[in-house]
Amino acid sequence: MRAGLLCAGRCLNRETRVIEIREAANAEMAVIYALLEQAGLPTSDIPASNPRFMVLREDGNIVAVGGLQPFGSAALIRSIVVAADRRGAGLGRVIVQELEKAARAARIDRLILLTQTAREFFAHQGFHVIERSAAPQEVQGCEEFRALCPASATCKMKVLAEHA
């Protein structure tokens, strides 16, 4: 029951798994790094860039994660990953929605991302392609933009509605 995934705190989905969505704790960073590395996503800049991670747990296990790295009124959405055995269940969408809520609460009005493999996924979440040079200068200056993601990565943006 995908709608059940959108509840705050804990809920049960159709498979009677306990679902919890919240900001990551420092003690969970090793699991987050492992998920990102398994998916081939960059981790070398995480200590310096200090993104805010959201985790989705099923039955106590982290199965999805995503990061929000603020730059004034814009933010970089990064490191969205779902455990291989849980892909296709809508968990990535839930993580993106939680990051959007966190961004709105922080008065962020534009989300930027780079992707090599998830263009369609993010298009379905309302992101549209922009030129990399159209991203805010602060975002362009971060290590993910400058060095970690290749020039071939697609740059996307979503403008957040004030009250969505």
Domains within the chain, CATH numbers bracketed: 21-159 (3.40.630.30)
Closest to 135 measured CA to CA, from 155, 116, 151: 155
95-140 residue pLDDT tens = 999 999 999 999 999 999 999 888 999 999 999 999 999 999 999 8
Give, in degrees to the nearest 5, the angle at Cα 93 between 92 and 99. Answer: 90
Predicted confidence at residue 5, as pLDDT, reads 45
In the predicted model, what is the mean pLDDT of the chain? 87
pTM, two decimals, is 0.85
DSSP characters over 91-117: HHHHHHHHHHHHHHHTT--EEEEEESS
Which residues lie below 8 Å from residue 142, measured CB to CB, with a gap of 6+?
Answer: 45, 49, 69, 71, 76
Burial of residue 124 (number of CB atoms within 10 Å: 0-12, 13-18, 19+): exposed
16-47 residue pLDDT tens = 576 899 999 999 999 999 999 999 888 988 98
